[in-house]
A and B are shown apart, each in its own frame.
Chain A
Amino acid sequence: MSKSYFDETHCAIGHPKSTFMQWMLTIDHKRIGLMYAAVMFTFFFVAVATAFLMRLELFAPGQQFIDGDTFNQAFTLHGVIMIFLFIVPGIPAVFGNIVMPLMIGAKDVSFPRLNWFTFWLYVLGSIIALTSLWGDNGFADTGWTFYAPYSLTTSTTVLPVLIAAFILGMASILTGLNFLVTIHRLRAPGMTFFKMPLFVWGIYATAWIQLLATPVVGITLVLAIMEKYFGIGIFDPAKGGDPVLFEHLFWIYSHPAVYLMILPAFGVMSEIIPTFSRKEIFGYRTIALSSASIAGIGYLVWGHHLYTSGMADLAKTVFSFLTFFVAIPTGIKFYDWIATMYGGKIVLSTPMLWALGTIITFAIGGLTGVTIAMIGVDIHLQDTYYTIAHFHYAMLGGVVFLLFAGMHYWFPLVTGKMYNEKHAKIAFALNFIGFNMLWFPMFIAGYKGMPRRYFDYLPEFQIYHQVSFFGAVVFISGLIFMFYVLYRGWKYGEPSGPNPWNATTLEWHMPSSPPPLENHSKVPYVDFEPYEYKHGQPVVKFDYATMKRID
Chain B
Amino acid sequence: MAHEYIPEIAIDSKGNEHKVQGWQDDFYGGKLGFWLFMFTEVMMFGAMFLALTYYKTLHPDDFLLASSHLNRLLGGTNTVILLVSALTMGLGLLKMRAGDVKGAKLMIYATMILALMFLAIKGVEWREEYEHGIFLNHGKLLPESDFPFGEKIFYGLYFTMTGLHGFHIIIGIGLMLWLLKRINAQKVTPEHHILHWNIALYWDIVHLIWVFVFPYFYMIGAGDVIGGAHHG
Contact = CB atoms under 8 A, between A and B. Distances in A.
Contacts of B228: none
Given A214-B40, A232-B136, A185 B13 contact: no
Contacts of B59: 240
Given A190-B12, A215-B40, A232-B159, A184 B18 contact: no
Contacts of A527: 12-13
A245 B156 contact: no
A177 to B, nearest CB: 5
A106 B58 CA distance: 52
B29 A110 contact: yes
A111 B37 CA distance: 13
Interface in A7-60: 8-11, 15
Interface in A471-505: none
Contacts of B55: 234, 242
A8 B1 contact: yes
A424 interface: no
B56 to A, nearest CB: 13
B153 interface: yes
A247 B216 CA distance: 24
B156 A234 contact: yes
Given A181-B36, A233-B149, A245-B54, A238 B143 contact: yes
Q: Which of A211, A523, A527 has the most CB of B within 10 A?
A: A523
Contact of B36 (A211, A213, A220, A222): A211
Interface residues of A, number: 58
Contacts of B58: 242
Interface in A74-114: 106-112
B29 to A, nearest CB: 4
A318 interface: no
Interface string A146-189: 00000000000000000000000000010001101110111011
Interface stretch (B44-52, B94-102, B122-130, B172-180): B44-52
Given A8-B1, A548-B11, A181 B29 contact: yes
Given A180-B36, A185-B26, A525-B11, A231 B51 contact: no
Contact of A525 (B10, B47, B142): B10
Given A185-B28, A188-B10, A211-B39, A106 B23 contact: yes
Q: Which among A111, A173, A215 has the greatest number of chain B C-beta atoms within 10 A?
A: A215
B43 interface: yes
A388 B3 CA distance: 49
A353 to B, nearest CB: 37
Interface size class of B (residues with CB under 8 A): 35 or more
A162 to B, nearest CB: 15
Contacts, number: 155
B43 A216 contact: yes
Nearest to A178: B33
A212 interface: yes
Given A186-B21, A240-B150, A240-B153, A231 B142 contact: yes
A153 to B, nearest CB: 12
Contacts of A213: 43
B224 interface: no
A541 interface: no
B5 to A, nearest CB: 9
A111 B3 CA distance: 13
Given A239-B152, A240-B149, A249-B51, A231 B20 contact: no
A523 B136 contact: no
A159 B150 CA distance: 26
B23 A112 contact: yes
A283 B196 CA distance: 45
B230 interface: no
A318 B152 CA distance: 33
B208 interface: no
Contacts of B86: none
A219 interface: yes
B136 A240 contact: no
Interface string B142-160: 1100001110110011011
Nearest to A10: B3
A287 to B, nearest CB: 25
A231 B137 contact: yes
A110 B26 contact: yes
A230 interface: yes
A185 B160 contact: no
B142 A185 contact: no
B18 A190 contact: yes
B1 to A, nearest CB: 6
A179 to B, nearest CB: 10
B32 A184 contact: yes
A129 B62 CA distance: 38
B153 A232 contact: yes
A211 B34 CA distance: 12
7 contacts: A186-B26, A222-B160, A232-B141, A233-B149, A233-B153, A245-B54, A522-B10
Given A181-B32, A219-B45, A524-B10, 12 more contacts: A110-B33, A180-B36, A181-B29, A189-B12, A216-B43, A231-B141, A232-B153, A232-B157, A233-B152, A245-B54, A523-B8, A525-B11
